[in-house]
Structure 1
Amino acid sequence: MSAGEVAEARVADAVAGHWVDRIAPRPVRPYLRLARIDRPIGWWLLLLPCWWSAALAATHAGLPWPDPRHLLLFLVGAVAMRGAGSTYNDIADRDLDAQVARTRSRPLPSGQVGPRAAAAFLAAQAFLGFLVLVQFDAFAIRVGICSLVPVAIYPFMKRVMPMPQLVLGLAFAWGALMGWAALLDRLGAPALLLYAGAIAWVIGYDTIYAVQDIEDDEIAGIRSSARLFGDRVRLAVGSCYGASVALIAAAAYGAGAGLLGYLGIAAFAAHLGRQVLRLRGRDGRGALALFRSNRGAGLILFAGLAADTVNQGWPG
């Protein structure tokens, strides 16, 4: 395969027609794919708990809206750290990824990027994430640094535990702590409840995502919640989503949310329920669509929480 053909090799589950594959310079395309820029759902799912937490913290503090500066910093940080985490994961998993149909087209197992170049790219993305983190106060910086623990161990959990999605949840839900820490310079019960609810949400949606790989994972010996739950996957996802909604509602109550916040939670719950009803075991294409729809679910929840903040905090 020529260098040009390597640069053109699109990752299997990327968004069709994404600008990375159409207009990005060919030499940088493999690195953009390594950072998952062509699969933006990942950074959205990392970002949304940050925004939920920022909105609930603003409500608790009696502010008229979530801090716009914090929302922007969380956006940049989510893109950078999603890219860094994905690069780290791909370095650790490059041999396993070569055995799975959906992942063997990724830049490392397909030879688009070498391990040393990937490591250098990882360092650059992590540095950008660090520059974002140090814009917050000391307490939020310490909370953010602690997130590196689950990030560091997650790639290896699929080799040793039957439900590695739990560790992924610890990492991807961390933003539920960050919004509260950044605004209030502490953690409280609402932030911890929101974090627990976000973890349950992550386990649910990543179980749906893992449905795509059940057959290949069985051959390669990769563990996942989709394999663990088997024919009970719909019940398992529904249970995770139910726990998520209950915990987030408890967080909203603790933060002093009002009607609009609870309406947002209800709409979020309805969206998740629709996913469960449409889920089919071993339907990989359908599972990917349902997984991606969680961006909409998370934005619905944020809209409700943010509108509630504006409604309660606006003068008069």
Structure 2
Amino acid sequence: GTGCGFNLTGRTNVTIKNVIVTGWQYGFYLYYSSNNTLTNNTAYNNYYGFRIYGSNNTLTNNTAYNNTYVGGFYISGPYNTLINNTANNNWNGFCLGSSSYNNLSENTALNNWYGFKLYNSSSNTLHSNWAINSTTQAYRWDNDSTSNDFTGSVAANYLCVEVVGCAGVPLQGVEVKVVVDGVTVYASPGFEGTNATTGRDGKTPWIIVPFQTCISGTTFVENTTMVTVRVGELNAINSPREVNMATSHTEVFIVFIISFALDFMVELALWFFLSVQLTGFGNMGYLVVGVIFLVQAVLVGFFVLRKVGGWVVAAG
């Protein structure tokens, strides 16, 4: 579309609440506007969601999604404050162009090409923001953007844990735990959590996992993500497993439904019986030993089944 859904050119001290704007070039347009307050508004299917050219404006709890051009929130001016806003599925989630001394805190950018993008913008504070599942880059700034502070901001991606049997059959009800740098972000009841086990498709819901965290200024460090898969009281082999969360993806655990103890003992018993066949039934020593191994195999197998409430698990 063309034009502006809400045009505040040259206006000051205006409050806009609970407005939905769609189908325009600019959803909310503040041109040379200052000291305005925008709260609980939504802009979608525009070229720009919120376009701010002024200063000292405050945007809180607003949402911009499916805006197709520069982005959800595009700021060109100083001393604006954006708190707890959400930008979903835009080109840029939040963009600062030729802007300084702005405060962006606790905002969420998800499913955008760029989560937070700065060009020719310096001395801005961007604390405790989340950029989730950014197609190109979560946080990007050019060489002309200096002295910006991203402390506490997070780049995150989606993780789905899928558990299948050796024949590719989905396994339902498997316990899953995801821990990031020692902090549990997902835990099913078997891990004393409230999140779901794997469903009928063998998968967990999508889990938001922090990949990088800014510890100071513009220094982002990569987090360590560990995933544990459990059936009954036993963890799968290769579990916990460190998972690379540089991109959103499905992490597959292949589970073999067998009892190693039972299988091993039965094979030994069969070997002894075969020895009896080769040496003749007169050698009862082999037969006795074979029977003993077979009985042990059955006992061990039943013990293992009772222990885990199912089969022992091996996974890759």
TM-score, L = length of structure 2: 0.23
More strand by share: 2
**Larger radius of gyration between Structure 1 and Structure 2:** 2
TM-score, L = length of structure 1: 0.23
- RCO higher in structure (CA 8 A, sep ≥6): 1
